[in-house]
Structure 1
């Protein structure tokens, strides 16, 4: 596998982007909340950009014979375009995959911030919807985690193995729009204050976020310096080693469990605070399917790469996501 150098400057990019938006508001008197009303044209432009960029990267990969993605070498132009011909497609020093993921996260943070601003605009504190503000704030916290701890993202399955194709780029382009459907739905439905639902959603989010953050920290620490980990928490084989300590000794994919709980907390907030609608259900179903598919892909990859070590790990940690259940 090729070795690349990355700059983990996601937080700097977020601060710079925020400064630009604040400058537009303060010095040019540009109504930033108008962006919230232009969701469809902005999303359409994002889709077109994603398709054009994907095609451009695929053509570049063919011309430079840079067909390095294990998922994008089927010989079918449609499948290879969709999966991505290169794992880490670059234009000069710019890594396209990490750039689009970063842009996606920053866009979601900006969008949610504008939603909170619109909800609070011209209102007294007791008039602001707790549900809208909480849903948007929780999404900001979750997205901000990936921006602040961007270095841990570089060891993820997505960055290291997924191709930079239409699927990944289009998913990143649409992420800020579908993830913010819940706070926007709560805003448009004018949901009443519900402290109990908000408290339950906040608690579930906190549990999920802590599982997500701790598991990612533990795995990153192991990859950064495996000698710092107790030998009892490592499964060794002839060519590889696997970490089985901490939360990774409870379930095989605690990071995905944490993410699933986080998304569920947002859905709970929507279902318990506003009239029943298909949007929260659709989001939850989509997230569950996405997590299950990703778990399957990661396990297949681990079986191929780690073989005997993975077999030992699977026999010791039997549950994939939920202790004593699945």
Structure 2
């Protein structure tokens, strides 16, 4: 590819997100630190949630070589590598349809093999068989070696981030429009290449988006149930709160995997490059931060009782209903069908924007459903500590930031039509509130 053609296909990024290189650096360092902090700030090992910590104890731990060595667990690292290899093999050997993604700037479309749900079922089957044959104590290793698994996942995230950044400089690479700034810190974080390590129907970005981290999140939850069952004398003694959280999060994971083709129109896939931001988010943050509530309930069991449990169930499935129906409306409309006869406006470019149904109530109703579910996943932990509610706060910040990114991209794409659309649909996420 000539330099002139390359500059046209891969224009230089002229605007920054995440507060530019300083923000990218702080997040790149901050996410691993926060992942560890969520464990050490809420665990039996350190004495509670939160533990009784004084600056002197923290300083002493950080200056002790034994503490740093304790972050590494060879067995956990090997288990994590085996899990990642299992996901790769399952992708290769399990059957799956080929689905075309959106049109790339080159004019072509990538074909993706979808079999994430089959991988999920296979993993669950093997897990259930192990627990049935050897008892719940055979599947408590995620709880016992939690820090080692965090370390292994972070190392994998860094390795992939560095490899993808280095590979993006090969001739002919299609870069992400937002990741070609020329600043190595920023481009490494946001992702310089749109689809690195992509061969045939395999694509590293979409593979990581749904398989290794998302399925592992639910397996970690199951490990927490097994740990509590081992302590309390069987699965019949596990608290209703832990069962509910595991059920809610398991259904959420299953829904995402079953509707795998829906991710091919999301910003992560169509716009963002694959760099450290997505690698650490997919591989480390999702499985080992999102399980915080389940892990907390292992050593702080909470019995909700039928009334409170029913309230939490209603809260969760109200959010799930909004999330699922809103996504179904959008996917049907994008696929050229409109079974509900929803109203829409047509832009000058010919694009169509929904203005009724859930998409007439807010511009991101699926985010509203997500937020309701995040609250339902934290309520079963009770109110003795705010730490398990970290997920709600984090998810609120994440979705508001994503909403602003979406709106900014749409404003650039649709121009004055986007202002007309915002008049028709004024609320961003929560109808009549925000």
Under a length normalisation based on structure 2, what TM-score does the superposition of the two structures give? 0.69
Aligned: 1:58 with 2:165: yes
Segment drifting more, 80-89 vs 302-311: 302-311
1:70, 1:50 → 2: CA distance?
22
- Mapped contact 2:225–2:298 kept (Cα < 8 A): no
Q: Distance in 2 between matches of 1:117 and 1:28?
A: 11
Stretch of structure 1 that moved more, 214-223 or 17-26: 17-26
Q: Is this contact kept in 2: 1:242–1:310, CA < 8 A?
A: no
Number of residue pairs matched by the alignment: 321
**Cα gap change, 1:315 to 1:63, in 2 (>3 Å):** same
2:365 to 229, 233, 254: 254
- Where structure 2 has 5 or more consecutive residues not aligned to the other structure, the ranges are 1-103
Q: Which residue of 2 aligns with 1:324?
A: 432
Instruction: Please name the residue that 1:224 is paired with.
Output: 335
Q: Distance in 2 between matches of 1:82 and 1:124?
A: 42
Structure 2 match to 1:106? 215
Structure 1 Cα separation of the partners of residues 381 and 402 of structure 2: 25
Aligned-residue offset at 1:19: 3.7
Give the Cα separation in 2 of the matches to 1:206 and 1:182.
18
Aligned to 1:288: 396
Q: Name which one, 1 or 2, has greater alpha-carbon Rg.
A: 2
1:267-298: per-residue Cα shift (whole Å, max 9, x none)? 222234xx22x422322221111111001000
Equivalent in the alignment of 1:202:
313
Is contact 1:248–1:254 with CA below 8 Å preserved after alignment?
yes
Structure 1's 206 and 82: CA in aligned 2 closer, same or farther, altered over 3 A?
Answer: same
| More displaced 10-residue stretch of structure 1: 199-208 or 10-19 | 10-19
SS of 1:7's partner is: strand
- TM-score, length-scaled by structure 1: 0.91
Rounded to whole Å, the distance in 2 between the matches of 1:228 and 1:159 is 27
Q: Secondary structure at the residue paired with 2:353? A: strand
Change (3 A) 1:311 1:229: farther
The CA distance in 2 between the partners of 1:210 and 1:260, in whole Å, is: 12
1:305 to 383, 408, 413: 413
Q: Give the CA deviation at 1:73.
A: 0.8
Q: After superposition, give the CA deviation of every residue in 1:69-105 in whole Å (9 maximum; x if it has no partner).
A: 1110111011001000122223323211111122211
- Is the 8 Å Cα contact of residues 235 and 309 (structure 1) preserved in structure 2? no
Inter-CA distance 124–97: structure 2 relative to 1 (3 Å threshold): closer
Distance in 1 (CA, whole Å) between partners of 2:396 and 2:216 is: 23
Q: For the structure 1 residues 124 and 159, does the alpha-carbon distance in structure 2 shift closer, same or farther, using more than 3 Å as the test?
A: closer
Residue of structure 2 aligned with 1:44, choices 151, 159, 162? 151
Which whole-Å CA distance do the structure 2 matches of 1:17 and 1:140 have between them? 13
Rate the CA distance shift 1:226–1:22 in 2: closer, same or farther, 3 A: closer
Q: Deviations over 1:285-323 (max 9, x none)?
A: 211111110010000011111223322211111111122
Please provide the CA RMSD for this pair. Answer: 2.1
- Whichever structure has more helix as a proportion of its residues is 1
> How many Å apart are 1:26 and its aligned residue?
6.5
> 3-state SS of the aligned residue for 1:191?
coil
The match for 1:83 among 170, 173, 190 is: 190
C-alpha distance in 1 between matches for 2:288 and 2:235: 28
Distance 1:177 1:134, change over 3 A: same
Mapped partners of 2:185, 2:207: distance in 1 = 24
Moved more, 49-58 or 198-207: 198-207
Which residue pairs with 2:36 in the alignment?
none
1:138-287 correspondence runs (5 A): 138-173=248-283, 174-226=285-337, 230=341, 233-239=343-349, 240-272=351-383, 275-276=384-385, 278-287=386-395
- 1:51-75 C-alpha deviation (Å, 9 max, x unpaired): 1011101111112342521110111
Q: How far is 1:197 from its partner?
A: 3.0
Partner Cα separation in structure 2 for residue 218 and residue 33 of structure 1: 40
Partner of 1:31: 138
